[in-house]
Amino acid sequence: MGFFGSVGGRVVGAPSILAADFANLAEEVRRVRDGGAELVHFDVMDNHFVPNLTVGPAVAAALVESTDLPVDAHLQVMRPDSLIPAFVEAGVASIQVQPEVTLHLHRTLEAIKNAGLEAGCALNPTTSPSVLEYAWPYLDYVNVMSVNPGFGGQAFIPEMTEKVRRLRELTDLPIQVDGGITAETAPLMVAAGARVLVAGSAVFRGDRAAEMRKIVEAGEGALGDA
């Protein structure tokens, strides 16, 4: 079973290495692992879909080699299809794409799954969950972006709790949330139905292990409200 298939009702911490020290990635991941991180969130940006430019398959492959945690690639790029084989080769465990720019979503999700990886969709803040109506059979998880993709450290968009709630009505698949997740916003998202908490700046601007643990525990505290 893949990582997302095993999430169940748990709250999972997924540090976004976008905010980490890129010169010391392996050590950064060791630190968040000590804080209970279970999944590494790897943001790929192409300066077209988003203004920012980050890292690609070569860095993903090095990271996969350096850790036993699964690596989840979030492709914030205009043409995800041409990158999928290289990320499969890099050894990532899952790949998520943005349906806003994925012309043939069925084909793309099938390409990810046929390679033995888990497949996800990340939805921009104003993208409706309804775009997934016919995609559910090919998905293993969904990511609700709670900021506009492109940069770490942006303010959480509070209306996204409602979107998580709506998605919870539509699917039992794990809901990931990404953007502005802190010990304050994590409980709101977990209460709404999210289980996988992506956090970048809230983790890597302080004591990595302690901040990771704080966010997961804050989320777990809201499980009763879910």
**Does the annotation count 178 as an active-site position?**
yes
Report, in Å, the least distance between residue 30 CB and Zn ion. Answer: 21
- Tokens representing 52? 């920012």
Q: What part of residues 108-137 is at the interface with Zn ion (CB under 5 A)?
A: none
Binding at 19: pick from Zn ion, ligand DX5, none (beta carbon under 5-8 Å per type): ligand DX5
User: Please, which residues bridge with residue 96 across strands?
Assistant: 74, 120
Binding-site partner at residue 154 among Zn ion, ligand DX5, none, CB < 5 to 8 Å by type: ligand DX5
Helix axes 25-34, 57-66, angle to 10 degrees: 50
**Helix locations, the chain, DSSP H:** 25-34, 57-66, 84-90, 105-114, 160-170, 186-192, 201-204, 208-220
Pairing of strands 40-45, 118-123: unpaired
Question: Do residues 149 and 76 lie in contact, with contact meaning Cβ atoms separated by under 8 Å?
Answer: yes
Contact 219, 197 (CB under 8 A): yes
Q: How far is the CB of 52 from ligand DX5 (least distance, A)?
A: 8
Applying CB under 6 A, which residues contact ligand DX5? Answer: 16, 18-19, 41, 43, 74, 76, 147, 149-150, 152-154, 178-181, 198-202
- Give the active site residue among 21, 34, 43, 172: 43
Which parts of 55-74 interact with Zn ion (CB under 5 A)?
A: 74
Q: Cα(first)–Cα(last) distance of the chain, in Å?
A: 25
Asked if residues 40 and 196 have their Cβ atoms less than 8 Å apart, the reply is: no
Nearest to ligand DX5 of 137, 154 (CB atom): 154
What is d(CA 212, CA 202) in angstroms, rounded to the nearest whole number? 8
Answer yes or no: 81 catalytic: no
Tokens of 108: 């793309």
Nearer to ligand DX5, 73 or 224 (CB): 73
Site string for Zn ion, 89-108 (x = CB under 5 A): --------------------
In the complex, minimum distance from the CB of residue 114 to ligand DX5, in angstroms, rounded to a whole number: 25
Report which residue's Cβ sits closest to Zn ion.
74
Which residues participate in catalysis according to the annotation?
43, 178
Catalog residues that contact Zn ion under the rule CB under 5 A.
43, 74, 178
